[in-house]
Structure 1
Amino acid sequence: MELSDFTYISRIKRLEKIYKDGQDILDDCQETWDYLIETETGNCIKLNIIADKIESVSQIMKALRDEIKRIKLEISN
């Protein structure tokens, strides 16, 4: 293992932590979504806000996943 590999490993760990934080946000959004559906039917404004947040976080998480894969491939080559 080379010294540069440790740099990659720390980057991967940091990105994986950010990814986990994103997953926590998605879980919170899902709980809020479920609550709003069960208790406040017809409140489209709140549901649209949650849907936008879910979409944004999902896009960020996809980018993180792609970056983690790219770095892992770079390490393996």
Structure 2
Amino acid sequence: MPVPISGQYQRGPSCWDRVKMGFTLGFCVGLASGALFGGFSALRYGMRGRELIQNVGKVMLQGGGTFGTFMAIGSAIRC
């Protein structure tokens, strides 16, 4: 185990860094789930082409924003 040089200790990420990371991870998970669920539901409704892409994109952003917000709040509570 290396010894710290001249009293320099490493610190963990700050609370704000944890909240940002929680939002980022939640946003990515929300994007992925929005792509799956939005894609399947749009195909089930018979959407094709531009309508399909717009609908799936909207569902992805909504899912990412929602899940990212809840993950950020959860990360802030744990700080």
TM surpasses 0.5 = no
Q: TM-score, normalised by structure 1?
A: 0.43
The structure carrying a bigger helix percent of its residues is 1
Larger radius of gyration: 2
Q: TM-score, normalised by structure 2?
A: 0.43
